[in-house]
Amino acid sequence: MYLFNSEVVKNQKLTQNIFRLRLKAANDFCRAATPGKFVMLGSDDGLFDPLLRRPFGICRWGSDWFEVIIKVVGRGSSQLSKFEKGVSVAVHGPLGNGYPNNNPKNDQKTLFLVAGGMGIASIASYLFSALDRNQSLAGTFLFYGAANYSELILLNELTAADAFGLQLQTITDDGSCGRQGLVTQLLTHELQSRPQSQVFACGPEPMLKSVQKVLLEADCDGYLSLENRMACGFGVCLGCVQTMINKDDDANVKTAKVCTQGPVFPARQVIF
Amino acid sequence: MYLFNSEVVKNQKLTQNIFRLRLKAANDFCRAATPGKFVMLGSDDGLFDPLLRRPFGICRWGSDWFEVIIKVVGRGSSQLSKFEKGVSVAVHGPLGNGYPNNNPKNDQKTLFLVAGGMGIASIASYLFSALDRNQSLAGTFLFYGAANYSELILLNELTAADAFGLQLQTITDDGSCGRQGLVTQLLTHELQSRPQSQVFACGPEPMLKSVQKVLLEADCDGYLSLENRMACGFGVCLGCVQTMINKDDDANVKTAKVCTQGPVFPARQVIF
Amino acid sequence: MVDLKVEIAPGVTLKNPVLTASGTFGYGREYAPYFDISKLGAIITKGLSWQPKIGNSGVRITETACGMLNAIGLENIGVERFLTDELPILQKLNATVIVNIFGNNQDDYANLAAKLDGIIGIAALEINISCPNVKAGGIQFGIDPQAAAKLVAAVRKKTSLPLITKLSPNVSDIVMVAKAVEEAGSDSLSLINTLIGMAIDLDRKRPVLGNVTGGLSGPAIKPVALRMVYQVAQVVSIPIIGIGGISNARDALEFLLAGATAVEVGTANFINPRAAIEIAEGVEKYLDEQGCVKVTDFIGSLA
Amino acid sequence: MVDLKVEIAPGVTLKNPVLTASGTFGYGREYAPYFDISKLGAIITKGLSWQPKIGNSGVRITETACGMLNAIGLENIGVERFLTDELPILQKLNATVIVNIFGNNQDDYANLAAKLDGIIGIAALEINISCPNVKAGGIQFGIDPQAAAKLVAAVRKKTSLPLITKLSPNVSDIVMVAKAVEEAGSDSLSLINTLIGMAIDLDRKRPVLGNVTGGLSGPAIKPVALRMVYQVAQVVSIPIIGIGGISNARDALEFLLAGATAVEVGTANFINPRAAIEIAEGVEKYLDEQGCVKVTDFIGSLA
Ligand SMILES: Cc1cc2nc3c(=O)[nH]c(=O)nc-3n(C[C@H](O)[C@H](O)[C@H](O)COP(=O)(O)OP(=O)(O)OC[C@H]3O[C@@H](n4cnc5c(N)ncnc54)[C@H](O)[C@@H]3O)c2cc1C
Ligand SMILES: Cc1cc2nc3c(=O)[nH]c(=O)nc-3n(C[C@H](O)[C@H](O)[C@H](O)COP(=O)(O)OP(=O)(O)OC[C@H]3O[C@@H](n4cnc5c(N)ncnc54)[C@H](O)[C@@H]3O)c2cc1C
Ligand SMILES: Cc1cc2nc3c(=O)[nH]c(=O)nc-3n(C[C@H](O)[C@H](O)[C@H](O)COP(=O)(O)O)c2cc1C
Ligand SMILES: Cc1cc2nc3c(=O)[nH]c(=O)nc-3n(C[C@H](O)[C@H](O)[C@H](O)COP(=O)(O)O)c2cc1C
Ligand code: FES
Ligand code: FES
């Protein structure tokens, strides 16, 4: 975990309200990043509104930079989305436990990546990490759903991952890109022919809930990346807890801190 | 009075912690400006820290812009001082009553301008207004004091006003520019030979207090521009009041709102 | 178009639920250059006492995190001058006027209420029982339910004007005070007044405010205000006017959801003189977009 | 170099006056990656109950203007596991440890105090009498001076550990509670706990927090905290620990000026894990620059 003031290198507007920020970072930080980990970001202006830092997935990184993709939903994301080149940003991270190591080639397993809305930022970190390490994506499917075409981001880069073997399917609520429907439909469909697959999913809670249901029905393992509200991001406020099945005692439930024990959890454990 | 969102045209750093901001304004606003009036400025970012707008003198203006000079002393001034070209700023003004109309030529009177520290922003508005209307400054003295040389601002422009007849004398606490001492010394000295002069003064309260004393001793009229803390700037919070001599009833005192009844007051009336 | 009319006290129906908070709207006319003040639900004037009051000396206001402290000391021109100099202007401006009053003791309040009774152009009285410098036997009226009830009953006898009692948040149990005041005959409640706070000038080693302590207002107090409105709304049956940090239409709507029949905008008026009217317009727009027919359907509809 | 030592209770001398507030510093070790936690005056652990508690369900935190609301519901691992799993780690880290406790009734508190009595590695107990879900006959201990005093007296009997009683700000008169608790044998006081607040999700028309209301903390509450510390410092003679919105060294110094012998840093720890140590260093730097010889000279030196 590193605590530092970084600087915006680039702020790229992806859609009306989604921005991609590239930030400077030390080598150590970048080496500690893995797909699915996140950072807590805040303004460095000494002002108290917004007060808390906000969590964002580390979407891609190089040796001395990393990128986050920020959708504007409130005051924190709005402030960050306006930071231009040169602005100082307070960073804490990489935090949490990302996706498990998964090498489809060795495992001979299919990997289904399921992204809903901004969940793509987390899921894409897996793909970018593979691309950046020249790792094949053969046997990897990406099911990517959003409200409509204009909410689908990173399409160029995702399509380019074709060359690495990625199979991309998009779906939108209104059918404006790909099929019309919910992203879990795609998963349900493909899972039928490959029940022994690995699944990573990130998206809004209703989507994760239904992914979980699909997995349980297919008796398939998988991982969900949760996005509970966080005050601290490093396990001290107990604000982000999620109820989980208590393995020690099946009759009982326990809570897990999404920030330090997650945000990626085995799908079977999560109780929504 | 106008309420609008303006845009920074230019932000010029004058010293380590003093900035000159040029802001866009409509013609109507500029026509309503007079020397000594002020604006309430705030950020337009929808965030609540800083909460209140801050008062700054309108230092100079053209047909579609005006300038303020901002010294960083706390969170409000600090935020504004960082606004670069293109940033939106919430403006309310021109507010208050500025310096009385004073045409030294017609009055055959000497005009002493006394500025201490950031008081120069207010005093300079008188000078710039004269310059910009090609009005002679013959018979006008500017006594300008600051802690040290590096705190003296606008020196180029003030020196150039020589050509209009301005007589500039600087003084610093440490003698690093002009004489060493307090600006009131200059006033006291010159007032001896011209007791019937007009005096405009702006600066920190201790300076204004001593200007008042000098004026009373010389039985000379004059005006002080006060800088009390303000929440609203337009007469509704009663936060900025200054105790004044009650002309209706000499035995009694009254309060005056610095924002609407001032900030410029006859020196005799103010009770510090 | 949503019907915005609300009845904040028996017979007092306002055109919309957005009012201005006492002490933050001057005597009303100061805002006339910025918008048509008759378009607000009502305006509540600066707290009036029998005699003019000069207020506190020294620093009176200071900003805090997302809030401000004030120690104005209830400076006002007194009831007499209000009636001769200010009320006629407000009437000319067609404003719906609610007069906020305070006194040093029960008689002061009763006398003010009697004096204002029957005066044309006053829609209701708001009784400020929460000023920190007004005590009933050492305890502030606003803190002791019995004292508050006695005061309201005394005022009630002296006027036929609808009474809104303005509650202090500096209490262990605001619900008790609210219930006591309701029973004593208050037609409605307004809450909250400011929280008592303090600021210190570190470098000068002294309190910032001349009065040492002051009243905290602004967005910082909104969560406390919203909680108190919600709690009180569960137990009283008279209308509640919500106050505290309301800065935009969404804030106002949250108070309505929590059970307030109307809201008062305070500190926000200082920052943007058009805040109150923008909030009124914003409330209308939001409810229209939601397809809400009457604002009264929305009030208290928190799940 | 300024002498930063302060005695926050008889026999409890801390190396500096900067502590961490319960519930905002985990069990301490979570901060070890960020700085040497033994350098703080003390660390106060998350509130402990006899049995483990799972806390509230639903949304537990939400941000408000310059503050945050929490409704964690006092989730904790229980005293037993604290002693076996956490305290040894804290001792290895050389931290000065103060344990914050709470219960559902007086016996719970007394039992906890007895259990912790004599345990090596605990410098003092902080009794949280201000948790909203802990009641004494329908009234919270923290609100009723008599109930608070009775509770403190009961705990006092069961332990020789120094007792710090943590006061609630949700009261009409915090001075009365402070005096009652002092008389009942509390060695020191800490204040303030959170203000009760609420947030509403407008679009979903429901409270944001699963628990409906929550505790307000952060810079927003600093003026209220500072006022209460100042008021209490005028009347009690036991040490006071100031808490509420302290975010930087200047904030901490203001509380010391107001009469606090030490301070606790809370919400700021979430934003910047190094906040507490930076505040301790900043306090030292400021006092050095002022030529202050002992921090105790500075404490309560407000003009
Ligand atoms: C581990 C993790 C990784 C995340 N990665 C990304 C990412 O890569 N890109 C991205 O755009 N967003 C991501 N999020 C969500 C992001 O943190 C929130 O959108 C952001 O904190 C909202 O802050 P705000 O101040 O703009 O909104 P607020 O004003 O705080 O709230 C506005 C709305 O956003 C909702 N909201 C608040 N906090 C969260 C939250 N933690 N998660 C979801 N909704 C929330 C609220 O319910 C509210 O309706 C991630 C969240 C987590 C926990
Ligand atoms: C009519 C008027 C005209 C002014 N013109 C100018 C100008 O042209 N240029 C300029 O730099 N400043 C001017 N000021 C002062 C300026 O408004 C303050 O410096 C500013 O409001 C401080 O805000 P802050 O948030 O930076 O400081 P805060 O954080 O609010 O306070 C920091 C320090 O500044 C002091 N302070 C706060 N408010 C004021 C105030 N109103 N006056 C003096 N000191 C204050 C406080 O005592 C405190 O010590 C003017 C003030 C008034 C009333
Ligand atoms: C400068 C100022 C003066 C006030 N004067 C009064 C007053 O005279 N009478 C009164 O009942 N309330 C007074 N109040 C309290 C407000 O009416 C309101 O209750 C409080 O400010 C909370 O609302 P806000 O957060 O929207 O400002 C005053 C508040 C401020 C900020
Ligand atoms: C998430 C959270 C959890 C808390 N848990 C406890 C607790 O268990 N026991 C306690 O006495 N106080 C608890 N508090 C209150 C803090 O210790 C402190 O009194 C309060 O937050 C005010 O300080 P601050 O503004 O610096 O945060 C908690 C506060 C927060 C924000
Ligand atoms: S966000 Fe604080 S414990 Fe997870
Ligand atoms: S600043 Fe509000 S009345 Fe002058």
Q: ipTM of this predicted complex?
A: 0.95
* Residues of chain B neighbouring C65 (CB-CB closer than 8 A): 49
How is chain B split into domains, by residue range? 2-95, 104-227
Residue list, ligand 6 pocket, CB within 6 Å: B 230-233, 235-240, 257-259
Which residues in D have their CB inside 8 Å of a CB on A? 23-26, 30-31, 33-34, 46, 54-55, 57, 59-63, 65-68, 70, 72, 75, 218-220, 247, 267, 269-274
Residue list, ligand 4 pocket, CB within 6 Å: A 237; D 21-24, 46-47, 70, 72, 74, 100, 128, 166, 193-194, 215, 217-218, 221, 243-246, 265-267
Find the range with the poorest average confidence among A70-79, B210-219, D205-214.
B210-219
Q: Which residues of C are marked as active site?
A: 131
- Ligand 6 center to C132 CA (angstroms): 22
Whether residue D131 lies in the annotated active site: yes
* Residue whose pair of structure tokens reads 């080693």 in the numeric block: C205
Q: Quote the pLDDT of residue C134.
A: 58
How is chain D split into domains, by residue range? 6-55+74-196+216-298
pTM over 0.90: yes
Find the range with the poorest average confidence among A193-197, A217-221, B245-249, C28-32.
B245-249
Q: Which residues contact D91 (CB under 8 A, 6 or more apart)?
A: D97, D120, D121
CB contact B32 to C (< 8 Å):
no
Could you tell me the sign of the dihedral formed by the alpha carbons of C41, C43, C49, C50, in that order? negative
Residues, chain B, total? 272
Torsion of CA D251, D256, D258, D259, to 10 degrees: 150
Residue of A nearest to B51 (CA): A49
**What is the distance between the alpha carbons of residues B22 and B87, in angstroms, rounded to a whole number?**
11
Mean pLDDT of A125-143: 91
Tell me if B38 CB under 6 Å of ligand 2.
yes
In the set D42, D44, D74, D131, the catalytic residue is D131
Residue type, A88: S
CB contact C244 to D (< 8 Å):
no
Question: Residue C201 pLDDT > 60, yes or no?
Answer: yes
What is the distance in angstroms between the Cα of A204 and the nearest Cα belonging to chain B?
27
Mean pLDDT value across chain B: 91
Q: What is the pLDDT of residues A24-70, one digit of tens each?
A: 999 999 999 999 999 999 999 999 999 999 999 999 999 999 999 99
Structure tokens at B20: 């000159």
| Chain A neighbors (3+ CB pairs < 8 Å) | B, C, D
**What is the distance between the alpha carbons of residues D37 and D49, in angstroms, rounded to a whole number?**
24
* Residues of chain B neighbouring D65 (CB-CB closer than 8 A): 48-49
* Residues of chain A neighbouring C66 (CB-CB closer than 8 A): 48-49
Q: What is the pLDDT of residues A161-193, one digit of tens each?
A: 888 889 999 988 888 888 888 888 888 888 888
- Ligand 4 center to D131 CA (angstroms): 10
Could you tell me the sign of the dihedral formed by the alpha carbons of C234, C237, C243, C248, in that order? positive
CATH of B104-227, one of 3.40.1280.10, 3.40.50.80, 1.20.210.10, 1.10.490.20: 3.40.50.80
Q: Quote the pLDDT of residue B236.
A: 96
CB atoms within 10 A of CB B258: 26
Which long-range contacts (C-beta less than 8 Å, at least 24 apart) are formed by D28-31?
Answer: D28/D86, D28/D89, D28/D90, D28/D93, D28/D95, D28/D97, D29/D86, D29/D89, D29/D90, D29/D93, D30/A234, D30/A235, D30/A236, D31/A236, D31/D269, D31/D273, D31/D276
- Ligand 4 center to D164 CA (angstroms): 15
Q: What is the pLDDT of residues D53-103, one digit of tens each?
A: 888 889 999 999 999 999 998 889 999 999 999 999 999 999 999 999 999
- Rounded to an integer, what is the distance from CA D46 to the centroid of its chain? 9
Which residues in C have their CB inside 8 Å of a CB on A? 65-66
pLDDT-derived band at B108, boundaries 50, 70, 90:
low
Q: What is the pLDDT of residues D189-232, one digit of tens each?
A: 999 999 999 999 999 999 999 999 999 999 999 999 999 999 99
How much of chain D, in percent, has pLDDT values that exceed 90? 89
Tell me if B263 CB under 6 Å of ligand 2.
yes
Which long-range contacts (C-beta less than 8 Å, at least 24 apart) are formed by D299-302?
Answer: D299/D6, D299/D17, D299/D256, D299/D257, D299/D259, D299/D260, D299/D261, D300/D233, D300/D256, D300/D257, D300/D258, D300/D259, D301/C205, D301/D257, D302/C200, D302/C205, D302/C206, D302/C207, D302/D230, D302/D257, D302/D258, D302/D259
Q: At what angle do helices C106-116 and C145-158 cross, to 10 degrees?
A: 30
Mean pLDDT of C241-258: 98
Nearest-CA residue for atom 2 of ligand 3: C23
What is the CATH topology of the domain spanning C6-55+74-196+216-298?
TIM Barrel (3.20.20)
Structure tokens at B81: 């001082």
What is the CATH topology of the domain spanning A2-95?
Elongation Factor Tu (Ef-tu); domain 3 (2.40.30)
**What is the distance between the alpha carbons of residues B56 and A206, in angstroms, rounded to a whole number?**
51
Relative to the alpha carbon of A257, which ligand is closest? 5
**What is the distance between the alpha carbons of residues B41 and B54, in angstroms, rounded to a whole number?**
5
Nearest-CA residue for atom 32 of ligand 1: A74
Q: What is the pLDDT of residues D26-59, one digit of tens each?
A: 999 999 999 999 999 999 999 999 999 888 889 9
Question: Residue C210 pLDDT > 60, yes or no?
Answer: yes
CB contact B48 to D (< 8 Å):
yes
CB contact A245 to D (< 8 Å):
no
Relative to the alpha carbon of B261, which ligand is closest? 6
Mean pLDDT of D148-162: 94
CB contact A235 to D (< 8 Å):
yes
